[in-house]
Amino acid sequence: MLGGTQSLHTNALDEVLALPTEQAATLALRTQQVIAYETGVPDVVDPLGGSYYVEWLTDRIEELAEGLFARIVELGDGSLLEGVLNGVESGWFVREIAEASFREQRRSERGDLIQVGVNAFTGSDDEPLEVLEIPMATEHAQRGAIGRTRTERDAAVADAALASLVAAARQPEADLMMPLVDCARARCTEGEVTEALQSVFGPWRETPVF
């Protein structure tokens, strides 16, 4: 907020483990509400008034981002789009993320990166977080809802939409957006759409990264 963000979202404390529990989601919401209604920072467009440090940080982030963009363009021989595709297929993105994660973990283990409650300021009475568990009844209910959707929809319209999607996918440089929209309107399931596209492109196999 002090940096002048246009929107703010507070993640729940257990999102790295599972979907947020009601307690964690409520805590995140209350945190946002405290910032919005108690601090007063939303009353000013730029609370820090063009702080040199904030501007320097912004420039530094932009510089690093531009460096990554340049690397992606290089992967695509001058094309950002081709660079993204090549980066995905070669495992470049996964490798970059894994290496960054490894560096961060090393900093945490060495104590260079203080994580309150994780590697510092821990208590002997700390207990594992309560993690949200989705009951099997939810899965059964969802499977039932999908079954009802398939029964109640116009099967001919759904089949035609899926066939049109397959036909479009077989065209070079095809724009699949409208066929996908038509499938949604025909109440095709995500699984059916995925299978239709796999019949043309095959399943995706991620490039192993070591």
How distant is the alpha carbon of residue 116 from its chain centre? 25
- Looking at residue 166, its pLDDT comes to 97
- Read off the tokens for 40: 């007063």
- Residue 124 placed within a domain: no
Number of domains in the chain: 2
- Looking at residue 207, its pLDDT comes to 77
Mean pLDDT value of segment 180-204 = 96
- Residue 206 placed within a domain: no
- Residue 135 placed within a domain: no
- Residue 3 placed within a domain: yes
Q: Which domain holds residue 32?
A: 1-49
**Is pLDDT above 80 for 114?**
yes
Residues 6 or more apart whose CB falls under 8 angstroms from that of 194 comprise none
- Residue 38 placed within a domain: yes
pLDDT band (50, 70, 90) for residue 210: low
- Residue 61 placed within a domain: no
**Is pLDDT above 80 for 59?**
yes
- Looking at residue 153, its pLDDT comes to 96
- Residue 68 placed within a domain: no
In terms of Cα–Cα distance, which of 11, 12, 1 is closest to 129?
12
Which tens digit of pLDDT belongs to each residue from 116-127? 888 889 888 878
Q: Compute the distance between CA of residue 171 and CA of residue 174 in angstroms, rounded to an integer.
A: 5
Which tens digit of pLDDT belongs to each residue from 135-164? 999 999 999 999 999 999 999 999 999 999
